[in-house]
Amino acid sequence: MSLTLPTGFTAAALAAGIKPSGKTDLSGVVSSHDCTWAFSGTRSTTAAACVGRNRELYAACGPVRALLVNAGNANAATGARGERDNADMADAFGSVLNVPEQAVLTASTGIIGHLLPMDRVLSGIEHLSDDLQPGADLFASAIMTTDTRPKTAQATLSTGARIVGTAKGSGMIHPDMATMFAFAFTDAAVESGALRAAFPAIVNRTFNAVTVDGDTSTNDMAAVLANGQAGEVPLAEFLAALEGVMRDLARQIAADGEGATKLLTVQVQGARTEAEALAAARTCCVSPLLKSAVHGNDPNWGRVIMAVGRSGAAVDIAHLKVGVQGQPVFAGQPLAYDAAAVSESMKAKEVVFTVDLGVGEATGEAWGCDLSAEYVSINAEYTT
C-alpha cells in the first residue's frame, strides 16, 4: 500500500547516476509552507559536509522548506571541495523551487572519500521537481544504501494531523547516531522551541538505542519538519506519537542490520537512571559474543552478565535477574531451565533478553541484530 505524506508535503526521486547500479539515488521532499524543525547529527569528529551545514542552519533557527538527499556517495572526507559541492546542491534545489538556499537541508550517504559527480547531481536536481507527488515510497527507497528494504512508519493524531517517518540504515550502526538517516514530516503545528527542547531525548531513546556493529558513521542525522497545515495539536500527544514513529523506525533499522537474520531486543529495568539502563541495554546489543550467541540460538546468559558488567551501569548482582524469550535464567544465581526449549524459542525473528539490575526504578530498551557470516561478506567487498 502506498504511503502518503502529510498535507503540504510532496516528494520525488530519480536516478542521477551516482550509484553504479543505476538505481534511484537522488531524492527530495518539499513543503508548500515554511517548517519548524528539529535536528540531530552525528557527534563524529569527522562529520560530513551535509551534517556541518545542517548544524549551522539549525543554530541560525530559520525555517526550512525542503530536504535534498543523495545516496551512493557520502561526500565525507572530501575537504573544501566537498563543502562547496554540498552548498551548491542546496543552492541548485533552492533555485528550482524558488526558495532560499538556507531553506534547503542536505543529506548524503554512501562511500566515504569520493567526490560527488556534480555534473550528474546538478542535472538531476534540475529535473527533480518535475514529478513531485504526495507519495513517500519512492523517497524511502531512494535514500537506501545497503538496506534490503525501505523503512517507513506513520501515526495519526486525534486532530487528524499526521506524522510520516522514513529512515535508512543497515550497517555502521551504533549510538551517537549510526550510519542512518531518519526523517519525519508532519502537518501538525508545533512551536519551534518545544519541538527542539524535546527532540534530543526522543532521539536518545530511539535512534541512539540502535546498534548493529559498534561503528558510528560520518553522516548520521535525524530531523523532523512540521509545516502546520493541519493546525495545532496537544503537545504531549504529538511528542508521544513522534517518539512512537521513531521507535518503529529504529527497530526496523536494527532488524535490517547487514547480514542480520534476527532482531535483538534488550529490555532493562531496575536501573538507577535512564542513562544507565540505556547503557546496559546498548552494551548488550553491541556485544559480538551475545550477537553470535543469538545467531546460533545459544541461550548463553553469561554473555548478558558480561556485557552489563562492563557497561558502567550500577548492578546489585545479588538482585540481578536475566530472562531469555520470557524464560528466567538467572536471579542472583543460576536457575534451572530447559536449555533446548529456550534455544528453540530463539529461532524466532525477534530474540528478547530482559534484565533487572536490582538497584532502582529506571528502565531502558535497545535494539540490535545477530552477527552472521554475511555481515563480514558484505563489508569485505563493500567498495570492490
Encode the chain (384 residues) as per-residue pLDDT tens digits: 589 999 999 999 999 999 999 999 999 999 999 999 999 998 888 899 999 999 999 999 999 999 999 999 999 999 999 999 999 999 999 999 999 999 999 999 988 999 999 999 999 999 999 999 999 999 999 999 878 889 999 999 999 999 999 999 765 444 455 457 999 999 999 999 999 999 999 999 998 888 755 556 688 899 999 999 999 999 999 999 999 999 999 989 888 876 678 999 999 999 999 999 999 999 999 898 999 999 999 999 999 999 999 999 999 999 999 999 999 999 999 999 999 999 999 999 999 999 999 999 999 999 988 887 676 665 566 555
**CA 371 – CA 212 distance, rounded (Å):** 8
Please give the grid coordinates belonging to residue 176. Answer: 551517537
Q: Which residue has the cell 547516531?
A: 177
Quote the pTM value: 0.83
* Amino acid at the residue 50: C
Tens-digit pLDDT profile for residues 242-298: 999 999 999 898 888 766 789 999 999 999 999 999 999 999 998 989 999 999 999
Give the model's pLDDT for residue 370.
84
For 190, the enclosing helix (H) or strand (E) is none
Pick the catalytic residue: 36, 42, 145, 179? 179
Contact predicate 165/49, CB 8 Å: no
Strand partners, 181: 168, 221
Question: Who contacts 193 (Cβ-Cβ below 8 Å, separation ≥6)?
Answer: none
Torsion of CA 58, 62, 68, 70, to 10 degrees: -20
Contact predicate 223/266, CB 8 Å: no
**CA 189 – CA 146 distance, rounded (Å):** 35
Give the model's pLDDT for residue 382.
53
- CB-CB neighbours of 231 under 10 Å: 11
**CA 23 – CA 15 distance, rounded (Å):** 6
Give the model's pLDDT for residue 148.
83
**CA 287 – CA 293 distance, rounded (Å):** 10
Question: Who contacts 357 (Cβ-Cβ below 8 Å, separation ≥6)?
Answer: 268, 269, 270, 271, 272, 276, 277, 280, 308, 313, 314, 315, 316, 320
Interstrand relation of 162-168 and 181-186 (parallel, antiparallel or unpaired):
antiparallel
Give the model's pLDDT for residue 268.
98
Interstrand relation of 327-331 and 162-168 (parallel, antiparallel or unpaired):
unpaired
**CA 260 – CA 272 distance, rounded (Å):** 32
Strands (E), 204-361: 221-226, 263-271, 321-324, 327-331, 350-356
Give the model's pLDDT for residue 253.
87
Catalytic, 179? Answer yes
**CA 160 – CA 242 distance, rounded (Å):** 14
Tens-digit pLDDT profile for residues 156-188: 999 999 999 999 976 544 445 545 799 999 999
